[in-house]
Amino acid sequence: MKFLIVGLGNIGMEYDATRHNIGFDVADTFVIKHGGAFSLDRHAFVSEVKWKGKTFIVIKPTTFMNLSGKAVKYWLDKEKIPLENMLVLVDDLALPIGTLRLRASGSNAGHNGLKNIELVLMTDKYPRLRFGVGSDFPKGRQVEFVLGKWKPSEVPFVKDALFKSIDAIECFATQGIGKAMTAFNKG
């Protein structure tokens, strides 16, 4: 059984360890845990890891956040992975820092990466793991906030949620989205 795990973020060192790149961070943590490594391929950094009889194609699109759909479509088609076996890892301003929300489908909530995936795939019916990054920013400063680095006081919560995210991905792959939602959509 094959899964496509899509970490959303922006390429470039200036985006490393920013709130908007938490999808990349979750993808990195998952691949490292399973002994994989990324290499540059078509539209994305890609890693293939195997765990419990399952194959995970993990991508970090190189198309930048706002054009993520191009990479997603390419890798779904190339690897012949059904939409329900894809999990998109994305930052979410509406959730407190470190809060996780799995969804089987739903709104893009104004997130440009999700908007583009929805546009390219012509559906919002795909699983996603939303990672709370908080919303502690003055009015009109949303872009600066999401492209900003974590505060030192936030780092422990982020690290804890990173490891929970890996558990959520594994649960999604072994038990399905329903059971994963029950197990991880708390708080």
pLDDT tens per residue, range 116-174: 999 999 999 999 999 999 988 888 888 889 889 999 999 999 999 999 999 999 999 99
Q: Give the pLDDT of residue 187.
A: 55
Among 154, 171, 180, 113, which residue's Cα sits nearest to residue 18?
Answer: 154
pLDDT tens per residue, range 41-79: 999 999 999 999 999 999 999 998 999 999 999 999 999
Residue pair 7/89 in contact by the 8 Å Cβ criterion: yes
pTM of the model: 0.96
89-103: b (≥16 Cβ within 10 Å) or e: bbbbbebebbbbbbb
- Give me the residue spans of the domains in the chain: 2-184
Matching CATH number, 2-184, of 3.40.50.1470, 3.10.150.10, 3.40.630.30, 3.10.580.10: 3.40.50.1470
pLDDT band at 184 (very low <50, low <70, confident <90, very high): very high
Q: Give the pLDDT of residue 97.
A: 94
Residue pair 126/44 in contact by the 8 Å Cβ criterion: no
Length of the chain, in residues: 187
Question: How deeply is 173 buried, as exposed, middle or buried, from its count of CB atoms within 10 A (0-12, 13-18, 19+)?
Answer: buried
Active site residue 34: no
